[in-house]
Amino acid sequence: MPHPYGWLSLLPSLVAIVLAIVTRRVILSLLAGIVVGALLTCGGHVPAALYGTLFTHLWPSFTAPGKLPIFCFTILMGAMLGIIQRTGGMHGLVEAVAPLAKTRRGGQVVTWVTGLIIFFDDYANTLLLGSTFRPLADRLKISREKLAYVVDSTAAPVAGLALVSTWVAVEIDYVNQGLENLTLSDELKAFDLFVASIPYRFYMLMALFFVPLTALLGRDFGPMLKSERRAKAEHNDPARAAADGHGFARSSEVAAGSWYHAIVPILATLAVVVVLLVVSGKAALKTNPNAAVHPPLRDIIGAADSGFALQYGALAGIILAIAMALGSRLLNGRQVLVAAARGLRIVLPAIAILTVAATLSRMTGNRSVDGKPTQNAYEFSDHRLYTGEYLKSLIAPDQAGPHKAAGAEEEEYLKLSVKTLPTVVFLLASIVAFCTGTSWGTMGILMPIVVTLAHALLTSDGQVVSASNPIMLGSIGGVLAGAVFGDHCSPISDTTVLSSHASGCDHIAHVRTQLPYALAVALVVIAFGTLPLGWGVSVWFLLPLQLGALVVLLLVVGRKV
pTM above 0.85, yes or no: no
CB burial of 278-303 (b: ≥16 within 10 Å; e: otherwise) equals eebbeebbeeeeeeeeebeeebbbbb
Start-to-end Cα distance in the chain:
67
Quick check: helix, strand or coil at residue 219? strand
pLDDT value at residue 528 = 96
How far CA 248 is from CA of 80, 81, 390, in Å, comes to 11, 8, 46
Burial of 113: CB neighbours in 10 Å, binned 0-12, 13-18, 19+: middle
pLDDT value at residue 351 = 77
Distance, in Å, from the CA atom of 20 to the CA atom of 422, rounded to the nearest integer, reads: 23
Distance, in Å, from the CA atom of 327 to the CA atom of 9, rounded to the nearest integer, reads: 56
pLDDT value at residue 388 = 66
Distance, in Å, from the CA atom of 166 to the CA atom of 168, rounded to the nearest integer, reads: 6
Q: What is the pLDDT along the chain (561 residues), one digit of tens a residue?
A: 788 888 888 888 888 878 877 876 778 888 998 999 999 988 888 899 998 889 888 888 888 777 788 788 878 888 888 888 888 887 777 677 767 777 888 889 988 988 888 776 777 678 667 767 777 788 888 899 999 999 999 988 998 888 777 677 778 888 888 887 776 555 678 888 888 999 999 999 999 999 999 999 999 999 999 999 998 887 555 444 433 344 555 555 677 778 788 888 888 888 888 888 888 888 888 887 766 777 777 667 767 787 788 889 889 999 999 999 998 888 888 989 998 998 888 778 767 877 887 788 788 877 788 777 777 778 888 888 887 677 666 654 443 333 444 456 667 777 888 899 999 999 988 888 887 677 877 888 788 888 888 888 888 777 777 778 899 999 999 999 999 999 898 876 777 877 887 788 887 888 889 999 999 999 999 999 999 999 999 999 999 999 999 999 999 999 998
Angle at 61 between CA 55 and CA 67, to 5 degrees: 150
Residues recorded for the chain: 561
- Please report which residue ranges of 118-259 form alpha helices under DSSP H: 122-139, 144-161, 168-180, 190-196, 202-217, 223-233
Q: What is the DSSP letter of 440?
A: H
Angle at 339 between CA 337 and CA 343, to 5 degrees: 115
- Is the four-CA dihedral 203, 204, 207, 209 of positive or negative sign? negative
